[in-house]
Structure 1
Amino acid sequence: MVNIASVLKSEIARVARKEVRAEIEQLKKSSTSQRSAIAQLRRQVALLEKELKQARRQVVSAARTQAVSADDKPRRFSASRLAAQRAKLGLSAAAFGKLVGMSGATIYLWEQGKSRPNAEQLQKIAGIRALGKTAVLERLSGG
């Protein structure tokens, strides 16, 4: 005769395997859908980063085109010419920066070529270039 305990044990194991298999199938389906959602989000992030990069390029391009004065002359920047202009006027970097509305340290960075002025600052530098030494000194003393 068959031992009732062994039959009961094997039946419980069979039912438990069936339950576990059903749970695992649900988890596999959920995992698959989660992975596809993650992949889709990664594609969206990559697309948005690409669009952001293009937008930044357009902003830089627009800023460069804004460096055009009212008489449509493009404003170029040369670090050595800025240093020469400052020396010609006999101004310190701090004094020149005061005219442009920047600090002396920023003027030094421009002269060393480590940074560049933006379009608005190029306009101010061009305006100072048109002035003589006495006019520049009057501006500094007058505010």
Structure 2
Amino acid sequence: MPNIASILKAEISRVARKEVRAEIETLKKASVAHRASIAELRRQVGALEKELRRVAKGTTRAAPAADSDNETEAGTKRRFSATRLAAHRAKLGLSAAIYGQLVGVSGQTIYHWEQGKARPRAVQLESLAAVRELGAREVAERLSA
């Protein structure tokens, strides 16, 4: 006659395995569903990124055409160099605050431009170009006026 303890242990083990198997099946089904939804979301993100690139490419093509109209009206397109701005200010021997008065901005803005933390807008580039064309005497006259 077999030992009751070993039979009881075997039966408990069998029932426990059956319960665990049932739980694992539900978890596997949930995992498959989650993986499918993740794959679908990745496809959607890929499609949206592709469309975003297409739209961005279309706007960059349209933007130069609009800029060329502005160039003909305003003259030539201006370029900006932080080191040249600093060199011009040093050549004139002006502080950033005084140079900013000539351009029409604050001294802090001049510092930010020179350090490359910010870039001037188109209108400010025109003001910078106008100041750049001035000599030391003309700058002194403007400051005294």
* TM-score bin (small chain): 0.5 to 0.7
Shift of 1:75: 0.9
Tell me by how many angstroms 1:19 deviates. 1.8
The answer on whether the counterparts of 1:83 and 1:111 sit within 8 Å (CA) in structure 2 is yes
* CA drift at 1:114: 6.6
Shift of 1:37: 3.9
User: Structure 2 vs 1, CA of residues 51 and 20 (structure 1 numbering), >3 Å: closer, same or farther?
Assistant: same
**1:40/1:102 CA distance change after superposition, 3 Å:** farther
The match for 1:124 among 120, 123, 127 is 127
More helix by share: 2
Deviation (angstroms), 1:3: 5.6
TM-score of the aligned structures, taking structure 2 as reference length: 0.54
2:18 aligned residue: 18
TM-score for the superposition, normalised by structure 1: 0.55
| Aligned residue in 2 for 1:70 | 73
The 2-side partners of 1:16 and 1:112 are apart by 70
AA in 1 matched with 2:95: S
Give the fraction of aligned pairs with identical amino acids, expressed as a percent: 57
Does 2:140 match 1:137? no
Change (3 A) 1:17 1:88: closer
Residues 102 and 143 in structure 2, CA contact (< 8 A), matched pair in contact too: no
Distance 2:11 2:80 in 1: 86
Cα shift at 1:76:
1.6
Q: Any unmatched runs of 5+ in structure 2?
A: none
Of the three residues 105, 110, 113, the one matched with 1:107 is: 110
The 1:120–1:9 alpha-carbon spacing in structure 2 relative to 1, beyond 3 Å, is same
The amino acid that maps onto 2:143 is L
Q: Is the 8 A contact 1:128 1:136 kept in 2?
A: no
- CA drift of 1:27 comes to 0.9
- How far off is 1:23 after superposition? 0.6
Asked if 2 retains the 8 angstrom alpha-carbon contact of 1:95 and 1:104, the reply is yes
Cα shift at 1:14? 2.0
RMSD: 4.6
